[in-house]
Structure 1
Amino acid sequence: MFFIGVFGVEEKQKEIGTIKNLSCKNCNKIGARLTLYKTYSFLHIFFLPVFKWNDRYYAVCSGCNSIYEISKEKAIRMEQGDEEAITYWDLRLMDFGNYDNYIKYRCKNCGKEVESQFEYCPYCGTKKD
């Protein structure tokens, strides 16, 4: 977060939903689900968002934690309610180094969002599972 008086720039991650009827390219685990996330940067004035940019979409496998980049067009269609917009061929596996700064996890103890590179929650000190 960056502040200049009453202005600020922040990064945010939002869970869009679960991609149904689609298996992970990496593990093909039965019952594993792919969760779609959106990350973006925004400018706010007095904590009211004014301008948003750098929209990126990712799908995370619950079975093996593989992360796939999803095209903006397909992800927007799913965000608008088209549950079959994303297909198996739309999943582009990302390198480990590329997504560390985008994906966050929620601490099981205090519930705060924590960046994935932390092994312990900086708010309460609980170890990441």
Structure 2
Amino acid sequence: MFFIGVFGIENKEKIIKETQRIYCKGCNDYIEGKIIKVYSFFHFFFIPLFKWNEKYYVIYNNCDHVYSISKEKGKSIEHDESYEISYWDLKDFQGANYENNNAINNKCLRCGRELERDYIYCPYCGKKIR
């Protein structure tokens, strides 16, 4: 019997909810944005078996602000419970956790294609990213 085992660890970014009206602490206004979940998972034959390192973020479409929210608040939003994100729910961070996660995509300024954060050069057009 011939058996090939395919397993691994991956990072993933998942959009939980897109909303037209979510509070932005930096703009002090309600604007359009989305709530995302970033996590790592172990898979066997492309079937995810377990997740860890779950983090939730609010990303605003009209400005460059990104805030983290608590795991409890993120889980309640993910399970379609009623939610209200207030000033106190949004936590500032310097981008260390969000920016360095390989699951988060980056765009090339020249060709506009989606790239992983760890690329130094765009594989499509050759422009230096960082």
Q: Give the TM-score range, shorter chain.
A: 0.7 to 0.9
Instruction: Say yes or no: does 1:12 pair with 2:23.
Output: no
Q: Percent of counterpart pairs with the same letter? A: 39
**Superposed displacement of residue 89, structure 1:** 1.6
Structure 2 residues without counterparts, runs of 5 or longer: none
SS in 2 for 1:50: strand
**Superposed displacement of residue 98, structure 1:** 3.5
The equivalent residue for 2:79 is: 80
**Superposed displacement of residue 33, structure 1:** 1.6
Aligned pairs, how many?
Answer: 121
Asked if structure 2 preserves the Cα contact closer than 8 Å seen for 1:19 and 1:83, the reply is no
The equivalent residue for 1:27 is: 27
**Superposed displacement of residue 118, structure 1:** 5.1
Instruction: Say yes or no: does 1:53 pair with 2:42.
Output: no
Q: What CA distance in whole angstroms lies between the structure 1 residues aligned with 2:122 and 2:29? A: 29
Q: What CA distance in whole angstroms lies between the structure 1 residues aligned with 2:96 and 2:61? A: 19
Q: What CA distance in whole angstroms lies between the structure 1 residues aligned with 2:89 and 2:25? A: 10
Query: Residue 15 and residue 23 in structure 1: after superposition, are their counterparts in 2 closer, same or farther (change >3 A)?
Result: same
Asked if structure 1 preserves the Cα contact closer than 8 Å seen for 2:20 and 2:32, the reply is yes
TM score, norm. by length of structure 2: 0.72
**Superposed displacement of residue 27, structure 1:** 2.2
Question: Which structure 1 residue ranges, 4+ long, deviate > 4 Å from structure 2?
Answer: 106-112, 116-121
Structure 1 residues without counterparts, runs of 5 or longer: none
Query: Residue 41 and residue 96 in structure 1: after superposition, are their counterparts in 2 closer, same or farther (change >3 A)?
Result: closer
Q: Which structure's CA Rg is the greater one?
A: 2
Asked if structure 1 preserves the Cα contact closer than 8 Å seen for 2:12 and 2:104, the reply is no
**Superposed displacement of residue 51, structure 1:** 1.4
Asked if structure 2 preserves the Cα contact closer than 8 Å seen for 1:77 and 1:85, the reply is no
SS in 1 for 2:55: strand
**Counterpart residue type for residue 116 of structure 2:** E
Matches within 5 A, 1:45-124: 45-102=44-101, 104-105=104-105, 112=114, 114-116=115-117, 121-122=122-123, 124=124
Asked if structure 2 preserves the Cα contact closer than 8 Å seen for 1:19 and 1:86, the reply is no
Query: Residue 11 and residue 22 in structure 1: after superposition, are their counterparts in 2 closer, same or farther (change >3 A)?
Result: same
